[in-house]
Structures are given as structure tokens and as C-alpha cells.
């Protein structure tokens, strides 16, 4: 951001200033100081008061540039004798990254939990290809219900990883890892192909069908030709585009706006519905709504967390006014995370179109959705 605002040469100057600050605070006589990459520095020191030093460095940095806030973040690792330098740096970096979103602290000490986290991340990256090839990653479907009829109108496809060596790996672990290391398109394309294959089996057997929503990462739009990938999966199995919905989470940042915006528009023009996932969970929800066009907004389940129809006055104001906003913008509204009949009744009373959550069913095999008692809306291909 600094480079964008002030230019690269000013950015270079800042890096030099930071280097000087570090040299002043950690005396070169008993420290090694280096620039690691980009805006990452590494300090090897026997200075006992390292945390205080970091705070002092931060104060210098604030004082140096009063017109912009440059926040320093540090990860600390105490290497033992048998640690090599590379893994020591990795661990310090891991500790540093762990406070990325926490603006109230400037440093963090590495602990063993982070090491396990690192090992799991490595395992996920190393085994992704074989997990897909061996069918350890599968897709389950969660029903989505239309509130006006009470019937199932769609299903969301959700990836599941059941690993023979380490058991179930939660999407909360493997999705962020694959995003961080930019491998997410592989999974999303694989999930899409599985959805198409499942759909084709039912269709060829003459069984009832449901439109399915699939989750895409905003990175898919940057890293591959995701439209082409989806198109080829869909056409290979002869699935009409109006039977597939594309879910994109709202955690979209400014940089990839163009590719994503074009992608969303193109998907919609081609006849796919595009849904905004997890609305309300990030800091820029409203801007995303302003800048992109969606057919449906999925309200994040946090809106309903701890919801009590007789007590949660504020939650009700927020939910109903956001619903009104969706209406004014011509979008359908879907509530995620519905777990109780009270929640369902409230959502129905204020006019939500659809809902999804454990109350209706957990993610399950596609065929099992059709066996649920509440019934299925007939879908026209």
C-alpha cells in the first residue's frame, strides 16, 4: 500500500530506514540483521529484551512518518542447538503471520501448536494431488430450502477430505492453506467435476434433479481461466448452466477487482447464477455489494449466532434492514446456519427467500437429499 501511494523509490527508502532502526536497536556487535525478502527482515540476536526492542522499533517508525501508519510485526523464535537456520526462520515467520489480523500486538513468540499447524499445512500441500486421485476428497451436499414452500430447492456442494493417514481434515484447515499457497483452483475444479459427475449419474438414471451451488475462491479468477474450466466440466456432462450456481465469498480485496468483476459478469451473462457467500462476515461486505452484481446474497451464519427471537432486538434490526437492502437491489436473500424452528419462523416472517442449516440437514450424499421428508421442488432444466 505504501508503494502504491508514494511510489517504489519512497518504498525503498522506507526499507533502508527500517534497516537503520534495526541496526540501532539491535547492536551489530551481537546481532546479525538482514533483509529476508520484500518487507521482511530477520534479526539473529542474543538480546534478552527482544520484545521491548520491537516496541521501541515500532515507536521509531511511527515517529519517522507521522502521515502514514507503518505497523511493525515480529515473530520470535528461540532456536535450540540442533535447529537449522532455515527452519528457525520459518518458525519465526509463522509466529509473525499468526498475528497478521491482530492489530493490538506487535510481536508473538513461536509455540509448538504452530509447528503442528505448519506440519499439517505441509501435509495438505504434499498430498492434495494424491487425495484427489484416490478419492479421499469427496463432495457432500447440504439442502437449501425455499421458505415459501418449505421444500428443498437447491443444494450446496461442500468439499470433504477424509485422509487414510490422519483422518478428517476440516475445510477450515485445507481451504485457507490451499488459498495461501495458491493451489485452490485445483480443488475447486476437482469439486466441480465431481458435482457434474454426480449430477450426470442421477440424470442418466432418470431421477429427479436439483440445481447445485459450488464454492469458488476469488483466487480462481486470478490464477486460472475458471470460466473455461467450469464450462468444460459442465459441457462434458451435458449439464445446463441454469442448474449451477457459483458462490463467491465476500472477502474480496481491491487488487483483484477487475478480473473478478469481469468473471462475475461473464458467468451471469452465460446463464449461471452468481451468489455472494458469507455476507456480513468480512469488513467490506457493503462495498462488495456496491461494486459487484449478484443474484443472491447468503447471509453469514454469524447473524443467527445466539439468536433468540424474543431477545435479540439488535440482531433483528440488522437482519431485517439488510434484507430490505437486498430487496431494493433486486437480489434474493438466503440465510445460512439455521439451527432452530424459532430462527426459521422469524426468517420466514420477515420474508427471506431461502434458508440453509443443520435444522434442514447437514451436508450429505446427493441421493440422501432426495430421501428427506420435506420433499423437493421440481427443477426445470
Segment near Mg ion (CB under 5 A), from 3-11, 174-182, 244-252, 365-373? Answer: 244-252
As a whole number of angstroms, the distance between CA 368 and CA 85 comes to 52
Stretch binding Mg ion (CB under 5 A), from 36-44, 77-85, 210-218, 306-314: 210-218
The nearer residue to ligand C2E, 95 or 192, going by C-beta atoms, is 192
Q: How far apart are CB 273 and Mg ion at their closest, in Å?
A: 13
Q: Which does 64 bind (CB under 5 to 8 A by kind): Mg ion, ligand C2E, none?
A: none
- 158/360 Cα distance (integer angstroms): 16
User: In terms of CB distance, is 89 or 297 closer to Mg ion?
Assistant: 297
Which one of Mg ion, ligand C2E, none interacts with residue 301, CB within 5 to 8 A by kind?
A: ligand C2E
Cβ proximity to ligand C2E, 278 vs 331, nearer residue? 278
Q: Which is nearer to Mg ion, 154 or 198 (CB)?
A: 154
Please, what is the minimum distance in Å from the beta carbon of residue 15 to ligand C2E?
A: 35
**Residues in contact with ligand C2E by the rule CB under 6 A:** 142, 158-159, 171-172, 175, 184, 187-188, 191, 215-217, 247, 249, 277-278, 301, 336-339, 356-358, 363
326 vs 338 by CB, closer to ligand C2E: 338
Number of neighbours of residue 225 by Cβ within 10 angstroms: 13
Q: Which of residues 10-69 bind Mg ion (CB under 5 A)?
A: none
CB of 165 to ligand C2E, least distance (A): 20
* Binding at 121: pick from Mg ion, ligand C2E, none (beta carbon under 5-8 Å per type): none
Least distance to ligand C2E, CB of residue 71, Å: 28
* H or E stretch at 74: strand 74-76
282's grid cell? 468480512
SS in 3 state form for the chain? CHHHHHCHHHHHHHHHHHHHHHHHHCCHHHEEEEEEECCEEEEEECCCCHHHHHHHHHHHHHHHCCCCCCCCCEEECCCCCCCCHHHHHHHHHHHHHCCCCCCCCCEEECCHHHHHHHHHHHHHHHHHHHHHHCCCEEEEEEEEEECCCCEEEEEEEEEEEEECCCEEECHHHHHHHHHHCCCHHHHHHHHHHHHHHHHHHHHHCCCCCCCEEEEECCCHHHHCCHHHHHHHHHHHCCCCHHHEEEEEECCCCHHHHHHHHHHHHHHHHHCCEEEEEEECCCCCHHHHHHHCCCCEEEECHHHHCCCCCCCCHHHHHHHHHHHHHHHHCCCEEEECCCCCHHHHHHHHHHCCCEEECCCCCCCECHHHHHCCCCCECCCCC
Q: How far is the CB of 214 from ligand C2E (least distance, A)?
A: 7
The residues facing 146 across adjacent strands are: 151, 354
If contact means CB under 5 to 8 A according to the sort of partner, which of Mg ion, ligand C2E, none does residue 205 touch?
none
Question: Judged by CB under 5 A, does residue 220 bind Mg ion?
Answer: no
What minimum distance in Å lies between the beta carbon of 281 and Mg ion? 8
Q: How far is the CB of 140 from Mg ion (least distance, A)?
A: 12
Which residue lies nearer to Mg ion by CB, 115 or 281? 281
According to the binding rule CB under 5 A, does residue 278 interact with Mg ion? yes
Q: Looking at residues 295 to 334 of the shown chain, list those that interact with Mg ion (rule: CB under 5 A).
A: none
Among 220, 247, 250, 273, binds Mg ion (CB under 5 A): 247
- How far is Cα 96 from Cα 100, in angstroms, rounded to an integer? 7
Which residue, 154 or 336, is less far from ligand C2E as judged by CB?
A: 336
Residue 379 interacts, among Mg ion, ligand C2E, none and using kind-specific CB cut-offs from 5 to 8 Å, with none
Among Mg ion, ligand C2E, none, the one that 198 touches (CB under a kind-dependent 5 to 8 A) is none
Backbone angle region of 280, left / alpha / beta, with phi > 0 → left and psi within -120 to 50 → alpha? left
User: Residue 187 forms beta bridges with which residues?
Assistant: none
Site for Mg ion (CB under 5 A): which residue of 58, 98, 194, 215? 215
Residue closer to Mg ion (CB basis): 25 or 153: 153
Residue 273 interacting with Mg ion (CB under 5 A) = no
Q: Which residues contribute to the site for Mg ion (CB under 5 A)?
A: 215, 247, 277-278, 336
Amino acid at each position: 500500500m505504501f508503494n502504491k501511494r508514494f511510489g517504489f523509490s519512497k518504498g525503498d527508502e522506507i526499507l533502508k530506514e527500517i534497516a537503520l532502526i534495526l541496526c540501532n536497536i539491535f547492536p551489530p556487535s551481537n546481532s546479525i540483521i538482514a533483509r529476508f525478502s520484500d518487507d521482511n527482515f530477520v534479526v539473529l540476536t542474543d538480546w534478552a529484551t527482544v520484545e521491548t526492542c520491537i516496541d521501541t522499533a515500532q515507536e521509531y517508525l511511527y515517529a519517522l512518518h507521522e502521515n502514514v501508519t507503518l505497523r511493525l510485526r515480529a515473530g520470535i523464535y528461540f532456536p535450540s542447538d540442533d535447529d537449522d537456520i532455515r527452519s528457525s526462520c520459518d518458525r519465526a515467520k509463522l509466529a509473525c503471520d499468526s498475528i497478521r489480523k491482530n492489530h493490538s500486538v506487535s510481536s508473538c513468540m513461536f509455540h509448538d501448536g504452530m509447528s503442528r499447524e505448519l506440519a499439517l499445512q505441509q501435509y495438505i500441500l504434499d498430498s492434495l494431488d494424491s487425495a484427489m486421485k484416490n478419492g479421499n476428497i469427496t463432495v457432500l451436499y447440504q439442502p437449501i430450502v425455499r421458505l415459501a414452500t418449505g421444500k428443498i430447492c437447491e443444494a450446496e456442494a461442500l468439499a470433504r477430505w477424509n485422509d487414510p493417514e490422519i483422518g478428517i481434515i476440516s475445510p477450515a484447515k485445507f481451504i485457507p492453506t490451499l488459498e495461501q499457497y495458491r493451489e485452490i483452483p485445483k480443488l475447486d475444479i476437482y469439486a466441480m467435476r465431481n458435482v457434474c459427475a454426480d449430477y450426470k449419474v442421477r440424470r442418466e438414471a432418470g431421477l429427479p434433479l436439483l440445481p447445485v451451488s459450488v464454492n469458488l475462491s476469488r483466487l480462481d479468477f486470478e490464477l486460472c481461466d475458471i470460466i473455461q474450466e467450469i464450462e468444460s466440466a459442465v459441457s462434458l456432462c451435458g449439464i445446463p448452466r441454469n442448474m449451477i450456481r457459483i458462490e463467491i465469498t465476500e472477502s474480496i480485496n481491491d487488487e483483484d477487482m477487475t478480473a473478478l468483476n469481469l468473471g462475475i459478469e461473464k458467468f451471469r451473462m452465460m446463464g449461471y447464477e452468481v451468489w455472494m457467500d458469507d455476507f456480513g462476515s468480512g469488513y467490506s461486505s457493503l462495498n462488495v455489494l456496491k461494486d459487484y452484481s449478484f443474484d443472491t446474497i447468503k447471509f453469514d451464519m454469524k447473524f443467527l449466532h445466539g439468536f433468540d427471537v424474543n431477545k435479540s432486538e439488535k440482531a433483528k434490526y440488522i437482519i431485517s434492514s439488510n434484507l430490505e437492502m437486498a430487496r431494493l437491489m433486486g437480489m434474493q436473500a438466503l440465510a445460512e446456519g439455521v439451527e432452530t424452528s424459532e430462527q426459521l419462523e422469524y426468517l420466514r416472517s420477515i420474508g427471506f427467500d431461502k434458508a440453509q442449516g443443520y435444522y434442514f440437514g447437514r451436508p450429505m450424499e446427493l441421493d440422501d437429499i432426495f430421501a428427506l421428508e420435506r420433499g423437493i421442488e421440481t427443477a426445470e432444466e
